[in-house]
Structure 1
Amino acid sequence: MIPMERASAHERRMLKILRALNAQDRATLIAFGEFLLAGGASLDAPGGEEVPVAAAPSAPRHEPRPPAERPIAAIKRLRRVYPMLDPGEMLPETSALMAAHVLQGRDAGEVIDELEVLFATRYESRYGERAGAPEAGLDSDAGPDQDARSL
């Protein structure tokens, strides 16, 4: 007989909740769990050892926003654009925006717009003076009044 690992109390509770939901709510719960996993993943190895992290670049690497992008994909794209930002520090804001989309039905485009502003603002506040150089791929004819919402 194959030994089976006993599920933890949290795992049993999540399974009970999942089974009690209708199909649409199950999909929402799974999508939210995947979002949390993508944004809140620890840099610690299972044994408690730290995983070495490569040095992050100091300038964002612009990626154009695809048409019909979903908020989870936008978060992944913005994490690639701003790898120097700690996703754990941004988790409360990104979680709140995802919850507004998933649980309250807020428009995906609006949520993505706010995510882009959040990432750009966080980058500017953290790297302020070093952020003065224009990003690759952005229009160079943008005026000085251009704000983070136009990214």
Structure 2
Amino acid sequence: MPLRRGLLMLLLAASVACGSTDPSGGLPPGDAQLAILNALPEGTVATLLLDDAALSVPASGTRISRVVPAGTHRLEARAEGGRILSSAQFAVSVGGRRTAILGGAVIGGGAVVIAADTASLPRATEVKVRVINTVQGT
């Protein structure tokens, strides 16, 4: 009988753990996430700074993801020689997620667009499509 009770408690604990959601989305305590998508042609952005700290620039058409402390941040894209192409300030709460898109017109210097991400998962029979317009002046 004690073996059955132990097995029952183990199964109950496992089912509770499977049904609960992590409010931080699996991020370290006090942190948030920033995903950066580069929608500009290769070589447009030479330097990417987050709060004055250099980040690796994702290849054109790809994205990188970074864990950041919750709070207010500044993301800046610079061309070769240090000219600021675009910058954006954003705030993110604990467990929050933001997506930054480097896009827009290359001639005009590009744009940094920051959007909130719910990180919601679609149901098994559905897909999640996210559209963010990076065309300037629209």
Fold agreement, TM-score > 0.5: no
Tell me the TM-score normalized by structure 1: 0.23
Specify which structure has the higher proportion of strand: 2
When you count helix as a share of all residues, which structure comes out higher? 1
Which has the higher Rg, Structure 1 or Structure 2?
Answer: 2
